[in-house]
Structure 1
Amino acid sequence: MAEPGIEIVPTTTLSGHRCHLGEGANYDAASNTAWWFDIVERQLFEAHLGTGAVECHGLPVMGSALAIIDDRHQLIVTEDGLYIRDIGDGRLTPHVVIEADNPANRSNDARVHPSGTLWTSTMGRNAEPGGGAIYALHKGELTRLFAGISIPNAICFSPDGTTGYFADSRENILCRVGLDSATGLPTSTASSLYVNRSKGVLDGAVVDTDGLIWCARWGGDCVDAYTAEGDRVRTLRVPAQQPSCPVFVGADFRLLLVTSAWQGMDAAARAADPGHGHTFLLAAGTQGRPEPRVKMGAG
């Protein structure tokens, strides 16, 4: 089918802070709070959507994604493993070490399956080919699901939990895999769903209530929507060249928060891209879903 043209939808700037590498967007509906990271600068951002206030928290390690455990705690995905973070005072407690024998890697994309299982990932600090992997934290145990991935991204899940999606940004391929809806673990081998041949590369993604996969296109100044059959059906303009990670936010989940980055851009490129590194809210004209909370124990 013919791929869609670019739509211009109502867009506002949630945060004018210029993230070096904005990533890992998440939303806690209970507190109406959005979270995202600047990976390179070791910063965690907290945006209170009711007031518009945005706070920046320094981190002792590079963080790239998070999951909500409960009203007081988060699970932070970092360069050397998973930490439990106390939301009140920011204290980090080590939880699970990931790839302790490979300091050349760091964390990257992550998202929670509807069952409460966390999928998280690693990649080379210099995006070395085939250096990364995707893992699942299920009932407190960490299992490697996929290896040989250069830049793992676009981790997200169908509303019923029976399909998982992920991309290798280096290959520019969005993949799908059958899952056990009760565990979030694969029941089949992964297969190619969509190969991006347009400008830019596939980055972070999230799924709406209709099962559309909304994927940021780094270098393409847009977010694309794909069907579960692999057709690109919508493309929304983002006012930054390097959008990186979307998540649905707000009381009705009808706003799409999108992070961006200026990593790899020289002074001239940044000057030509006024929105570089900002974090945006797009009226996408669709409805998202609440992000599941991660289950930590064996129960």
Structure 2
Amino acid sequence: MEEVPISVLSAEHCHLGEGPTYDVTTDTAWWFDIREGRLFEAKLGGGGIRTHALGRMASALGRIDADRQLIVADDGLYIRRLADGAMTLFQPLEADNPGNRSNDARVHQSGTFWIGTMGRKAEPGAGAIYALHRGKISTLFTRISIPNSICFSPDGAIGYFADTPRNVLYAVPLNPATGLPRGEPEVLLRHTGIGGLDGSVVDADGLIWNACWGASRIDIYSPLGERLRSLRVPARQASCPAFVGSDLSRLLVTSAWQGMDDAARAADPQAGCTFLLEASARGRAEPDVKLA
């Protein structure tokens, strides 16, 4: 496992840190504590970190424009105004199923937003993956237990997702213009050994950077599913990466203390912290989500 320079961006111990993203236009990183209903905002060039109480579980966001974000929450999609944090329901999502919540999500280059849901107690097969395409929600894949690793190839022609309990990463052919499937998912890799496939992001070379939950590392895979490198993370439950910085060469990694008892938390004192890895990556900026 490789060691790269690491700093702690936030020493706040997130119960379940997730959903990091980066707005290159404002040099601002965003991430969530799903369990505690919090959204974190960090100006990487200075200015500190702000914490926003959302009043509900939320797990991911997409930038709409300079003034608005689309928040993926446990009962629907909300438009959030950056100026005052006001949130307005845009569309419900599984609002009739209070046993579920949102999880991993990411915006395709076309502006289509892929969104995963799961049971609040990770009940087998309770979740699904949806697509918000031009303002309409459609179901892509069902009977997902814990959707993770939603990300896309640089040309937009391949989508990836994982079901963490199965420890399988799938690849599915997409229409690059819409971000919607044009074929069935196929197994790209089966993870074996310690840990499980959690959040992922794809760099400019098509390499898949995956947070290996339970293994204190980021694994980097080729588009063929070959593991090329592993980078150490100073928390056992790394949950999701995002490329950050003006040149997108650094890696922000969230983590969690979820499921740990007192002894486990004492043995993992940085569990739930948010880290910056000097990864020398060739990252890509996240696209804006399109609502219409």
TM-score (norm 1): 0.97
Match of 2:69 in 1: 74
Q: Give distance in 1, aligned partners of 2:58 and 2:281.
A: 29
Amino acid at match of 2:94: E
Hey, what's the Cα distance between the residues in 1 that align with 2:211 and 2:47? 23
The one of 99, 103, 111 equivalent to 1:116 is 111
State how far apart, in whole Å, the 1-side matches of 2:19 and 2:138 are. 21
- Name the residue aligned to 1:208: 203
User: What whole-Å deviation, never above 9, does each CA across 1:91-122 have from its counterpart, x for those lacking one?
Assistant: 00000101122111000000000111000011
Instruction: Tell me the amino acid that sits aligned with residue 146 of structure 1.
Output: F
Which residues of 2 match residues 256-271 of structure 1 at below 5 A?
A: 256-271=251-266
Give 2:170's aligned amino acid: C
Show structure 1 runs of 4+ deviating over 3 A: none
Q: How far apart, in 2, do the equivalents of 1:52 and 1:169 lie? A: 36
Structure 1 match to 2:78: 83
State whether structure 2 residue 53 is matched by structure 1 residue 53: no
The residue aligned with 1:289 is: 284
Whether the 8 Å CA contact 1:8–1:236 is kept in 2: the answer is yes
Match of 1:107 among 93, 96, 102: 102
3-state SS in 1 of match to 2:165: coil
2:10 maps to which residue? 15
In 2, the alpha carbon distance for the partners of 1:27 and 1:52 equals 15
- Residue matched to 1:3: none
RMSD of the alignment, in Å? 0.6
2:155 to 156, 160, 172: 160
* Partner in structure 2 of residue 131 of structure 1: 126
CA drift at 1:43: 0.4
Residue type of the partner of 2:259? G
CA gap 1:52/1:282 in 2 versus in 1, 3 angstroms: farther
- Gaps (5+ residues) in structure 1? 1-5
Note the C-alpha offset of 1:52. 5.3
Q: What is the deviation of 1:56?
A: 0.5
Q: Which amino acid aligns with 1:28?
A: D
Residue-pair matches, total: 292
Q: Describe the superposition over 1:207-251 as per-residue Cα deviations: whole angstroms up to 9, x where unpaired.
A: 001000001011010010111111010100000000001000000
- Which sections of structure 2, spanning at least 5 residues, go unmatched? none
AA of the residue aligned to 2:169 = L
TM-score using structure 2 length: 0.99
For residue 189 of structure 1, what is the aligned residue in structure 2? 184
* Partner AA of 1:279 in structure 2: T
1:150-185, Cα deviation, whole Å (9 max, x unpaired):
000000000000000000001010110000000000
State how far apart, in whole Å, the 2-side matches of 1:94 and 1:281 are.
33
Q: Is the 8 A contact 1:14 1:52 kept in 2?
A: no
